[in-house]
Amino acid sequence: MRKAMIAGNWKMNTTVAEGSDLAINLSGFVSSSGKFTKTLVVICPPFTHLSEVVKSVVGSDIAVGAQNVWSEEKGAYTGEISAKMLAGLVKYVIIGHSERRQYFGETNELVNKKTTIAMANGLLPIVCVGELLDVRQGGDYLNFILNQARVALTGQAINGENLVIAYEPVWAIGTGLAASKEQAEEVIGALRNLVNAMFGAEIADKTLILYGGSTTEENIAEYMAMPDIDGALVGGASLKTEKFTKMIAEAEKSRAR
């Protein structure tokens, strides 16, 4: 059985000191005592916090990720961060989050390039896909999402363990309007079929695919009970130790059954 994953996206929240405190509290909960053997825990703080947060989680099984990466190796890209800079510091990187697509004009092609360079530098991308409300209401959302994923994954040497996909319907992010477990399962099942068609059944079976969008400690168990949903990319609730730790515990419980 695939492991579960609970990944927190802190977005542009917390100071370095607050982030470090949050990481210390989480790491106290997720100590390496073998408590969470079936759940991978990831936190993705802002770039400015990464070094401190990495130190704060030493000795726990929490992995750290960045929220973004630039698509080029190096050079005159003022303000950007390369994959090489992140490699060795963090394990994961979120790529193609809908807020990057919406506010910074990231296209499917850019997401593909970022995924390629992240993987070439040994980072594990968490590639986000998801539809806006009008696309869902228009009815053709599966094609839209599968096209996003197809473009992102084209040419990538994925092996089932070196890339995570997150389905995040834009209308569910930060709105409190979470997708139902059936809606999430429909899309995530279709994404798994796409991975199967592109890379084969063995890789599709191993690839972690998360749901994201207003997940909380109260609804996480519903998603975790679905066959294709492997966990959650969590925004708001990842900033609260109590909520996030309850979500980790629920994910672990779901995999212990």
Going by the DSSP 8-state scheme, the letter that residue 89 receives in this structure is: T
Given candidates 233, 247, 249, 251, which one binds ligand PEP under the rule CB under 6 A? 233
Catalytic option among 99, 106, 131, 168: 168
Within 156-175, the residues that bind ligand PEP by CB under 6 A are 168, 173-174
> Which residue from 77, 17, 67, 74 is spatially nearest to 42, judged by alpha carbons?
67
Instruction: Find the helix packing angle between 241-256 and 16-29, rounded to 10°.
Output: 30
**For ligand PEP, which stretch binds (CB under 6 A), given 56-64, 112-120, 217-225, 227-235?**
227-235
Contact criterion met (CB below 8 Å) for 148 and 175:
no
Lookup: tokens for 225 = 């009970």
67 is a site residue for ligand PEP (CB under 6 A): no
Based on the shown chain and the rule CB under 6 A, indicate whether residue 104 belongs to the binding site for ligand PEP. no
Does 234 contact ligand PEP by CB under 6 A? Answer: yes
Helix, strand or coil, per DSSP, at residue 59 = coil
Choosing from 97, 185, 250, 252, the catalytic residue is 97
Pick from 5, 9, 111, 152: which binds ligand PEP (CB under 6 A)?
9
Burial of 33 (0-12, 13-18, 19+ CB in 10 A): exposed
> Looking at beta carbons only, is 90 or 128 nearer to ligand PEP?
128
Min dist. Cβ of residue 231 to ligand PEP (A): 12
Q: Would residue 168 show up in a list of annotated catalytic residues for this protein?
A: yes
Decide: 42 and 4 in contact? Cβ < 8 Å.
no
Instruction: Determine the angle formed by the axes of helices 108-120 and 141-153, rounding to 10 degrees.
Output: 40
Is 186 noted as a catalytic residue in this protein? no
Q: CB under 8 Å to 18, separation ≥6 — which residues?
A: none
Q: Does 110 bind ligand PEP (CB under 6 A)?
A: no
| Residues 120, 83 contacting (CB under 8 angstroms) | yes
Nearer to ligand PEP, 9 or 156 (CB): 9
- Which CB atom, from 6 or from 204, has the smaller least distance to ligand PEP? 6
Residues with active-site annotation: 97, 168
Q: Which residues bind ligand PEP (CB under 6 A)?
A: 9, 168, 173-174, 212-215, 233-237
